[in-house]
Chains A and B, each alone.
Chain A
Amino acid sequence: MRNNTFQDRRWVIAGIFSVVILIYIIRLFSLQIVETKYKIGAESNALLRKTIYPPRGLIYDRNNTLLVYNRPAYDIAMILREITDLDTLEFCNTLNITKDYFCERMKDIKDRKKNPGFSVYTPQIFMTQLYGDEIANMQQNIYRYPGFYIQNRTLREYTFPYAAHVFGSIGEVSKSDIERDPYYRQGDYSGRDGVEFTYEKHLRGEKGVEILLRDSKGRIRGKYRDGDADEEPVAGKNLTLTIDIQLQKIGEELLNGKIGSIVAIEPQTGEILSMVTNPGYDPSILVGRSRSKNYNELVNDPTKPLLNRATLAQYSPGSTFKPIQALICLQLGGINEHTRFPCNGESSVPIRCSHYHGSPVSLLNAIEQSCNPYFWQAFRATLEKDGYGEKNSSFKENYQAWMDALYSFGFGHKFEDSDLFEHVKGNIPTQNYFNRYFGETGWRALTIRSLSIGQGEVLATPLQLANVMAIIANQGYYITPHLNKNDTMLLKKHVTAVDSSHFPIVTEGMWRVFEYGTGRYYKIPGLDMCGKTGTVQNNFGKDHSLFVGFAPRENPVIAIAVVVENAGFGATWAAPIASLMMEQYILGKIDRHYLFDRISTSILNPDVQKR
């Protein structure tokens, strides 16, 4: 063996080989096991998570009439990098758009200020919310425009042009929505108001995901793991409303040309049968591409069609407050069923009476004839029944009792457990308020006399007034007014502070209103109805016309409150509207066509537009 003197060097060489291999194994360990960024990098490289939107739940009325459903719509998306040889003119013709629009749109998409997520690699929305007929041409020719894709989505569609404020609408989620609920992603849609908002989670369902494989050129190359990792979307659940769409329709027609609202409630259940506000709009105008344009018009309309007056407008109840006043005075012992008070008609002090009736007047007559002096004296008798006491303490105690009783009728606070999108609490003035205003001992029954007839600081929404009628119809309790038919709320009876024994006489008084009083012209023959008109002074022109009531007298099925702003006497406008609503609901149809036509065609406010 010659020339083998360097034999030991084989260990050096073997060492070099081994060290390099060992370094590589360590490097592999750090790349494949220690580092996680490469795994994430691989996912964002190759997996395209495509959201599958579930169909939103349908909405039915209480009689299972379909009200809101979904209609397929389409977005046109494009990946700029994949667009080749685009014949712009032909493309515009296919989509039925002008070349100017096309250029404008392209410019907007590429403008990173307007479209921060712009990238030539990812899908960009070129046009959105197109209907089938608008896109039919495109669907047939899509293969001619590489880089353009059609994406499915659904849009709301409405069977009737009514109840827009009940439904609310759907719009793109905001940044804060996304932060609040991780379910949402940029570009998702959710209910913005109405039941679409309150029942968003019920209606929206669960999004599904389809994981697609995307190659290095951005092309889709099939499903990841053959779809094993995909998640099927879960369809949204349907919603049955308490609304009777026929009643809603009649209500909206009756308020035609007027500003006002109607709330009708089924007393036993608290179910809202109709919730009308006028001016309103056709819910379908806030869908799809025209949404933002129409929304702007609605916002800028001085008659405020977006305001749901049924739950957000607060009015002094005026004379419609008298039945409640009577109940509370009876309960607190200021009066009893036989109490009579004198009335000097026009010359009564401190509050005049505008009606003509005998004196001294009884409770029944006072309700029937809406006698202001009676209720002033009853109110005073209640508050002063123990005298004024040390620093008016006895008086204040009685005021507090009066106020608490009103609270128990749903005044002055929100319905905490309600599913209504937005409602306000109205107002019942507190002791503190008067103490601040007049000083600790500076106010007496006389100071706050306008409260006795529902004027002054007392404010209530039409919803609260209708709810009070439900209380009287129920002889002393209410179920929170609500819109979801399947949420009975029956277990939660809100019992008022007034004993049920006091209700019959007030009911009798209200019955007399329809028999002999201000409502007598609008009595439905053969039906015992109860009600009370109200004519409310306000600072904005003519008096508001109010009416509250329920029917039939025995086993009532509908309690109602109607407000027509600046229309005049309660008996002239609100009463017939309420009467027609009751007729529609109880009898299922309207026989008094002359009355219906007269009311529905009367334009009291020419600014009110039907949209």
Chain B
Amino acid sequence: MFKRDSVTYSIDWLVLLLYFTLVIMGWFNIYGASYDLDHEGSMFNFDFRAGKQFIWIITAFVIGGVILLLDYRFFNYFAYYIYALTILLLIITIFIAPEIKGSRSWLVMGPISIQPAELAKVSTALVLAKWMSRYNFKMKSPRDFIPLIFFILLPFGLIVLQREIGSALVFSTFLLVLYREGMRGEILLMLSLFIVLFILVLKYSASPIANAEGTWGMVLAMGIVLISQFVYTYFFTRHKKEAWILAGSVTALSLIFIVLNKWFFTVNFDYVAIAITAATTPYWLVVELIKRYKKYLFPAFMTLVAIGFCFTSDQIFNRVLEPHQQIRIKILLNMEEDLMGAGYNVNQSKIAIGSGGFWGKGFLNGTQTKLKYVPEQDTDFIFCTIGEEHGFVGSVFVLILYWLLLMRILAIAERQKEAFHRIYAYGVASLLFFHVMINVGMVLGVMPVIGIPLPFLSYGGSSLWSFTILLFILLRLDASRLERR
């Protein structure tokens, strides 16, 4: 019989089972993806990817075991130190890492190379949990909130400096953790809205409006902003009349300008849209004063920010993003097609997945992956191999495994007594979710190509180790819930 407080008794066996399933599936599919028709190496041949992955898996199990043997308080006590250590590592990496594929993110130590950015994800999850679980932590208090943002932005910035923008973007997922712990939901909504605006302006800024000046990009973006205002007012305040006044005047103004354009003079609708939208700001301020209702300052302010953002998003796109990133986004938005160049990966990956059909072609029978049509197929594009060889059934099975894992982690989070444990669990879930969303989305051609691994499945020691550490710390923390204290 297990002792009641032993790890083996209280560990969450479902998460462990899901973890093992995913890791073993990854190992088989790495064998499948790197399987070479000329060299049919065994899965244990260390000259090949599958053999190497086997070593990573075994070592990952050892690391996981060691974590389970540690005292659960270790992570709480040492969270800041662990964070400081990884930040130090990130800084060192910028200076000493050799350039590999355009980035300086790998620390090479003899035969082993590790990516400190992977570890930074774990330590940031820990430090956030630590900071937010402090006694009397208030999300609304700037003294609490500003360091929190700093904890996220510091590794983000350092990783950007390593030119690993993909890994850096991962840190945005911690906003979900912040949301769970009380950050205003509007921030998430605003971010989503800004992404939509960015896409609209980018995609349609090259589509001029017929018989007039201006482009559809700005008009559509401003339309979205106005509709958001209407929805906000109509559904989240009691001022339905004011919402209708807004809708009516906007429609009337638009019609007037359409008529003017048709019979009198050519109108630049970019400026019309911006002017109308900007005019809503004083409108809301007046409404706020009359109604003595304090909820309009924020939307009015965000409207101005949105106009500025839309006005400059072309510049942001062209100045901030590098050419290869620009083209990836343009391809995703169907603005450009370059099947032999930048669009090659995604097109080949769609072909590989699409050719899998319902049941797939069978293990080791995939032609697209075997014949190396899909680049990076054992690391970032591992999902292709699954899609091609195991078909719809296999792909959905893997997605459901991830879904189960995520749901289970959320359940674990909510059963914790300690805030540190709960917040850390949310960090784990958010990180896993972000990786799955971006990686699978990119392979399916619905997300831009951002080179981040698929948790537990992709080939590579750094990623497998750091995801293992991430998950096993959670398992260790969770196992402590039954311990007498």
A214 close to chain B: CB less than 8 A: yes
State which residues 2-46 of A face B: CB under 8 Å: 2-7, 9-10, 12-14, 16-18, 20-21, 23-25, 27-29, 31-33, 35, 37-39, 41-43, 45-46
CA separation between A43 and B179, bound complex, in Å?
Answer: 47
**B367 close to A224 (CB less than 8 A):** yes
B357: nearest residue on chain A (CB-CB)? A32
Nearest to A40 among chain B residues (CB) is B355
Interface flags, B115-141, vs A, CB<8A=1, else 0: 000000000000000000100010000
Contact call A32/B353, Cβ cutoff below 8 A = yes
Residue A213 CB within 8 A of the other chain? yes
B304 within 8 A of A: no
Could you list 10 further interchain pairs (A-B, Cβ under 8 angstroms) beyond the known A3-B137, A28-B444, A29-B392?
A: A9-B179, A9-B180, A21-B402, A25-B396, A33-B358, A38-B350, A38-B353, A42-B388, A46-B367, A46-B371
Question: Which A residues, 38 to 76, have Cβ-Cβ distances below 8 Å to chain B?
Answer: 38-39, 41-43, 45-47
Tell me if B176 and A13 are in contact (CB < 8 A). yes
Q: Which chain A positions have C-beta within 8 A of B353?
A: 28, 31-32, 38
Task: Number of A interface residues at 8 Å Cβ cutoff, please give it.
Answer: 45
Contacts of A47 in B (CB 8 A): 367
Contacts A1-B417, A31-B354; A216 near B395 (Cβ below 8 A): no
Q: Write out the residue numbers on chain B whose beta carbons fall within 8 Å of the beta carbon of A214.
A: 371
Q: Can you give 7 A-B contacts (C-beta < 8 A)?
A: A10-B414, A13-B179, A17-B403, A32-B392, A39-B357, A47-B367, A215-B373
Chain B residues with CB under 8 Å of A13's CB are 176, 179-180, 410, 426, 429-430
The secondary-structure label for the interface of chain B is helix
* B429 and A221 contact, CB distance less than 8 A: no
Chain B hits for A35, CB < 8 A: 354
Binary CB contact string for chain A from 213 to 241 against chain B (1 if under 8 A, 0 otherwise): 11111000110110000000000000000
Q: Output the least CB separation between A556 and chain B (Å).
A: 68
A387–B433 alpha-carbon span in the complex (Å) = 111
Question: What is the bound-complex CA distance between A601 and B37, given in angstroms?
Answer: 69
On B, residues with C-beta under 8 Å from A are 37-38, 133, 137, 176, 179-182, 185, 348, 350-358, 365, 367-368, 370-373, 387-388, 391-392, 395-396, 399-400, 402-403, 406-407, 410, 413-414, 417, 419, 422, 426, 429-430, 433, 436-437, 440-441, 444, 446
Contact present for A37 and B354 (CB under 8 Å)? yes
Q: How far is the CB of A217 from chain B (nearest CB, A)?
A: 7
Known: A33-B357, A38-B355. A17 touches B37 (CB 8 A): no
Which residue, of A2, A46, A225, has the highest number of chain B Cβ atoms within 10 A? A46
Enumerate chain A residues within 8 angstroms of B441, measured Cβ to Cβ.
20, 24
Q: Which residues of A contact B371 (CB under 8 A)?
A: 45-46, 213-216, 221
Assembled-state Cα–Cα distance A79/B190 (Å): 55
Considering the chains assembled together, what is the distance between the CA atoms of A18 and B402 in angstroms?
Answer: 10
Cβ contact within 8 Å between B373 and A21 = no
- Given A24-B444, A46-B367, are A32 and B354 also a contact pair (CB < 8 Å)? yes
Give, as a whole number of angstroms, the nearest-CB distance from A501 to chain B: 78
CB-CB nearest in chain B for A9: B180
Q: Quick one: given A33-B358, A33-B392, A45-B351, are A222 and B37 in contact (CB under 8 Å)?
A: yes
Which A residues touch B406, using CB under 8 A? 14, 17
> Would you give the 0/1 interface string for A191-216, flagging 1 where the beta carbon is closer than 8 Å to chain B?
00000000000000000000001111
Contact B373–A31 (Cβ < 8 Å): no
B357 contact set on A, CB distance < 8 A: 32-33, 39
Determine how close the nearest CB of chain A comes to the CB of B351; give it in whole angstroms. 4
Residues of B within 8 A of A24 (CB): 399, 440-441, 444, 446
Beyond A20-B433, A24-B444, whether A216 also contacts B392 by CB under 8 A is no
On whether A21 and B355 interact (CB within 8 A), knowing A6-B182, A28-B387, the answer reads no
In the assembled complex, the Cα of A2 lies from the Cα of B429 at a distance in Å of 21
Neighbour of B413 across the interface among A6, A10, A43, CB < 8 A: A10
Q: Are A17 and B355 in contact (CB under 8 A)?
A: no
Query: Which residues of A lie under 8 Å from residue B181 when comparing CB positions?
Result: 3, 6
When A and B form their complex, which 10 residue pairs have the shortest distance between CB atoms, in order from nearest? Answer: A38-B354, A42-B355, A46-B367, A215-B371, A41-B351, A32-B392, A221-B37, A216-B373, A31-B354, A216-B372
- Residues of chain A contacted by B437 (CB below 8 angstroms): 20
Bound complex: CA A45 to CA B369 (Å)? 11
Q: How far is the CB of A546 from chain B (nearest CB, A)?
A: 69
Q: Which residue in chain B gives the minimum CB-CB distance to A34?
A: B354
Residues of A within 8 A of B419 (CB): 2-4
A64 to B297, alpha carbons, bound, how many Å?
105
